[in-house]
Amino acid sequence: MKVYLDLYRFNKNWKLLEKRRQLSRSLTIGLMDYFYSQFNQILLAAPHTITNVDRVLFDIDTTNTAPYAQYIPGRIAAPGGNSAIQTGENGLATPAMYYSLKTSILGADLGILVGTGSTAVTPTDRRLVSRISHGVRPADGAETLFNSYAAGEDASGDISAATIWLGQMFVPAVSHRCTSVSVKLYKAAAPGDVTVRIRSLATHTAASAFYPTAAYCADLGSATIAEAAIGGVSPGALVKATFATPFDLYAGHYYAIIVNCPGAGGANHIYWRRDDAAPTFDRGFTDSSLASTKLGSADSGATWTSSGGTYMFEENGQSVGEFEISGCDILGKAIANPNGEFVIRRFFSNNSGGSIDVAESGLTCCGFHHDNSNQQYGAGTTYLIGRDVIGPAITVANTEILLATYTIQITV
């Protein structure tokens, strides 16, 4: 079987400016995960664990209670932009479920994706290196504030031991590459350096609920704040942790900023300032499995609880520019012995105001977990099944349109 990746660049009047064809080099283990789970009829009782695009372990299965319910595992076709596919099949008793990416998938997360990263492909790639997301934002020339909370500061979280980890959930409205996080801290005595990390939240099992559980969630990035940068007087100040390697945060996905201090204990404390009385943070959606967006763990992130309040933070990054992303189509099936093929197609319109260099392309498909906890009956996710590096990069100027197609071709 061969898979061809074709790239066409048009001007706004649909005049073809450039055409490229390359053999797709890089179907990944994610595709094997999909076929394995279906071929082997993996069921809820013994699911198959994959790693999704947020580096979260996600148990997929083929269990589905109703024979005619919408069935999404393996689906590649997608609506455009921020339009969504609902993955929860029925019985969603909690309205918030409808609004959660726990039980729905954004169109722009599914199907053909493009990005700016050029790192060589490996079979275990799980996400694009630097995805170009849906929208019209230009590339940021400098680090930009994307998410923050600074209101109503009235209390502190106390990191009094190495095993105490505190977290703040947030949901970006805009995809971007995260470069740094600032948290408002002060110290008592000499606790040593502080670690700041960002993880996506596990979204598929009652056991992990909706938390950045260590067993499921890898760090997307981590960085250290030197003790010397942290003041010793309340209420302290924002101190910055800069990530050596920036990483993507996707619009609508659920993330947590996590702070811990390996040297905390005895008289040595770190305090993270917060708003307990009347938090108004509106980018920390909750659902029935998460009481609030302020998180705490007493066992180094192995298990978590949530409670009312919002920690003081700033999350900064840079957009690599955005394309308006169309629906992803499946079409062009043609069979003529000895050949057969079909095509996966998507358009990317650049209305960002600037040029964007496309250096990688990928494919994701739907994963499904028949989680019947919390009345959700079907958690969805996307996971990578292929990634290609495009060399040299293809430059898409403002107002131009990029068409990307994958042609799946068999020959007997």
**How many Å separate Cα 17 from the centre of its chain?**
33
Min. distance of Cβ 348 from another protein in angstroms? 19
Q: Which of 8, 55, 63, 291 binds another protein (CB under 8 A)?
A: 63
Residue whose CB is less far from another protein, 267 or 335:
335
| 341 lies in the binding site for another protein (CB under 8 A) | yes
If one counts every other C-beta atom within 10 angstroms of the C-beta of residue 335, the result is 10
How far is 231 from 310, CA to CA, in rounded Å? 21
How far is 256 from 293, CA to CA, in rounded Å? 9
Per-residue binding letters, 81-120, with another protein (x by CB under 8 A): ----------------------------------------
* DSSP for 275-300, written as a single string: E-SS---SS----TT-S-SEEEESST
Query: Given the rule CB under 8 A, which of 252-260, 341-349, 354-362, 376-384 is the region that contacts another protein?
Result: 341-349
How long a stretch of residues is the chain?
412
Contact in structure between 139 and 318 (CB atoms under 8 Å): yes
| 68 lies in the binding site for another protein (CB under 8 A) | yes
Min. distance of Cβ 363 from another protein in angstroms? 10
| 77 lies in the binding site for another protein (CB under 8 A) | yes
| 40 lies in the binding site for another protein (CB under 8 A) | yes
| 219 lies in the binding site for another protein (CB under 8 A) | no
Q: Which of 24, 179, 203, 376 binds another protein (CB under 8 A)?
A: 24
Instruction: Give the torsion through C-alpha atoms of 296, 297, 302, 303, to 10 deg.
Output: -70
What tokens appear for 177 in the block? 């590459």
| 124 lies in the binding site for another protein (CB under 8 A) | yes
Residue whose CB is less far from another protein, 28 or 289:
28
Q: Which of residues 344-373 bind another protein (CB under 8 A)?
A: 344, 365
| 38 lies in the binding site for another protein (CB under 8 A) | yes
Q: Which of 9, 75, 126, 294 binds another protein (CB under 8 A)?
A: 75
| 21 lies in the binding site for another protein (CB under 8 A) | no
Question: How crowded is the C-beta side of 185, counted as CA atoms within 13 Å?
Answer: 31
| 80 lies in the binding site for another protein (CB under 8 A) | no
Contact in structure between 157 and 274 (CB atoms under 8 Å): yes
Which residue(s) pair with 181 in the sheet? 241, 315
Which residue(s) pair with 364 in the sheet? 111, 384
Question: What H or E segment, with its residue span, contains residue 255?
Answer: strand 255-260
| 408 lies in the binding site for another protein (CB under 8 A) | yes
Q: Which of 15, 39, 142, 392 binds another protein (CB under 8 A)?
A: 39
| 239 lies in the binding site for another protein (CB under 8 A) | no
Contact in structure between 359 and 116 (CB atoms under 8 Å): yes
Instruction: Give the torsion through C-alpha atoms of 84, 88, 90, 96, to 10 deg.
Output: -80
Interface residue list for another protein (CB under 8 A):
1-3, 23-29, 31-33, 35-36, 38-41, 48, 62-64, 67-68, 70-77, 121-124, 330, 333, 335-342, 344, 365, 408, 410, 412
